[in-house]
Amino acid sequence: MPLGTALALALTASTTSLPAIDIDLGSKTPQQMPAYHAGGNGVERRDPSGAFLYSVALPEGIYRVTLTLGDRRSAGKTTVKAESRRLFLRDVVTRRGQMVTRSFLVDVRNAHLPAQPAGAPRFGQSVLLDERDLASFSWDDKLTLEFLGQPRVAAIHIEQADAPRLFLAGDSTVADQYTEPFTSWGQMLPAMLGDHVVVANHAKSGATLKSFIAQLRFSKVLTQVRAGDWLFIQFGHNDQKAEWPMTYLDPELTYPAYLRSYIAEARRRGVHPVLVTSPERRNFDEGGKIKDTLGAYAAAVRKVAAEEDVPLIDLNRDSIAIMEALGPDVSPRAFAENGKDRTHNNNYGAWLFAAAIARQVHDKIPELAPYVMLKDFNPAHPPLPDALPIAPSIPLEENKPDGS
């Protein structure tokens, strides 16, 4: 697909004085553009549909991406994701000859941790990454943009930015899933917020409150947060597994205690904690109601939120309302592998769950309400799948997330 008459990228940074970069690609198609190389920029992946990934080598930080979308010769419908499939723009339609500008903020990170002082306990100098992490675009030294649908891209402008961050700590239902058909609400949330706040998704498939600490993911979050940021905390799916004895947390004693430790660590740094109840699994009874598998953990989150005076996002409640509204016949279309997976969403289901969260953020957290662009969502009356198409990412090897 044609990219337009030019693809220009300018990189400026006021805080680290990064050199400006200008790339003029004329009217080249993705197939004619240079492949990405370490320390440079270019096309990372290509797809016969015209979709492509474009990467730029950058240090970790917050970046404002401003896109000029459109083409003088043809119409387009451009969906944009960044890093590991975080949705930012959905179906931006441009007529032939029309140019539009869109802007959003992206959090870029790597796995490095600061060195510890002499004599301090040594836990390692980086987050513990597995093969799936290393294959993703979430932990490398670059910013990756994914252009999908019928992309028409005339220009890209990237510059360093400063904004409040919404850090996400959680499991596979929150994490940046590497490949289709698995998608989390954390990957859809950026599209529902304005361009003055940025989502920093540190969640991990299979994670528990314990393992998130042991794998140094919480340490990474705590090294990046600043006073005024937000920490959204959602665990439960894996914490409840007694067959995982090293990470099991009972809902009455240890699970609430770990939640309180996360809250305390956030507050000590001037960060605002937010508790999120886990979405329920899609298991219907004979009467068309969702079976309870996480109720004790959701109740514990509600209790801790009330006792600690922390904002509560009750996704467990809204996920049940969404699934029961869709019913046993339609709700499988909101889950991966054509509904064979009862825990992990696809793009459509993740969008519904993220929309429920965005609505509650708007209604319950006044400081964040101005940033919420999507707020008129009713979990009892969700849009049907055909009314909410979301361009799929470029096909990669499928790999089911850890956890269930």
pLDDT computed for residue 204 by the predictor:
97
Tokens of 146: 């994914």
pLDDT of the residue at 9: 45
Residue type, 384: L
Catalytic option among 55, 172, 211, 331:
172
Catalytic residue selected from 202, 237, 272, 344: 344
Q: How far apart are CA 277 and CA 315, in angstroms?
A: 5
* C-alpha span between 4 and 73 (Å, rounded): 8
The predicted pLDDT at position 297 comes to 98
Question: Domains (ranges, CATH) in the chain?
Answer: 1-162 (no CATH), 163-404 (3.40.50.1110)
pTM beyond cutoff 0.85: yes
Q: What is the pLDDT of residue 113?
A: 95
Task: Tell how many helices (H) and how many strands (E) occur in the chain.
Answer: 8, 14
Residue 344 annotated as catalytic = yes
| Residue 205 designated active-site | no
**What b-and-e string marks burial along 121-132, b requiring 16 or more CB atoms within 10 Å of the CB?**
eeeeeebebeeb
The span from the CA of 220 to the CA of 231, in Å, is 13
| From 159, 308, 324, 337, active-site residue | 337
Contact 217, 225 (CB under 8 A): no
Judged by DSSP in three states, 41 sits in: strand
Write down the pLDDT at residue 121: 84
Q: Are 243 and 281 in contact (CB under 8 A)?
A: no
pLDDT of 310: 98
Give the residues of the chain that fall short of pLDDT 50. 1-16, 20-26
- The answer to whether 17 and 25 are in contact (CB under 8 A) is no
Predicted pLDDT at 16: 47
- Nearest CA to 151 out of 359, 2, 302 is that of 2
Q: In terms of DSSP H, where are the helices of 182-294?
A: 185-188, 209-214, 217-224, 254-268
Could you give phi then psi for residue 235, rounded to 5 degrees? Answer: -135, 160
pLDDT reported for residue 10 = 42
172 is catalytic: yes
Question: By three-state DSSP, how is residue 375 classified?
Answer: coil
For residue 403, the model assigns a pLDDT of: 77
